Amino acid sequence: MAATVDLSGKGMLCVMSRISRNDMLDEETFLRWYDNEHIAEIMRTSGVTSARRFVDVNPSADKPYLAMYAMDDIAFVKSDEFRGIQFKSASLPGSGVIYDLADLDVRNDRLVQVYDPRSKGKGHTRSLVLNQVELGGGISDQEFDTWFRDEVGRCGSV
């Protein structure tokens, strides 16, 4: 039986991507579409509060492009408004459908912790670290959360 997905509360929509059809789509066109059309459309919706786009510093990264969209309620991704976001554009080659030209991995991440041991407040973070963890058998989400908070707490803050 599949676990119930909790799509509620403050969170982030994260999209990691790569151009899969280099014979049809160059990086300049992809990024121009992303910045000028796609992110612009997403920011016009009522559910996304900010957008950030990153490029991996490692040129051989599998999915070098990362876009992150902050939401006060990640349930927005289930809305008709969100589902109405376009993935087809005349500025893209071929069919104009981005899914025909790029591989995109989409995640919906719910905020579970704000780590601010020095009480610097909103806006002090200058870096982003992404980790993906697959829990082995017999380890609960709660056990992992407790371990992670203890480990991060011991590392301190810069």
The boundaries of the domain holding residue 138 are 116-158
Decide: 37 and 91 in contact? Cβ < 8 Å.
yes
Cα separation, 146 vs 148, in Å, equals 6
How many percent of the chain have pLDDT more than 70? 84
Q: Read off φ and ψ for residue 144, nearest 5 degrees.
A: -65, -45
How many independent structural domains does the chain possess? 2
pLDDT in tens, 104-156: 999 998 887 776 667 777 766 665 666 667 777 888 878 877 877 777 666 55
Cβ neighbours around 32 below 10 Å, total? 14
Which CATH number fits the domain that encloses residue 106? Answer: 3.30.70.100
In this structure, the answer to whether residues 107 and 120 fall within a common structural domain is: no
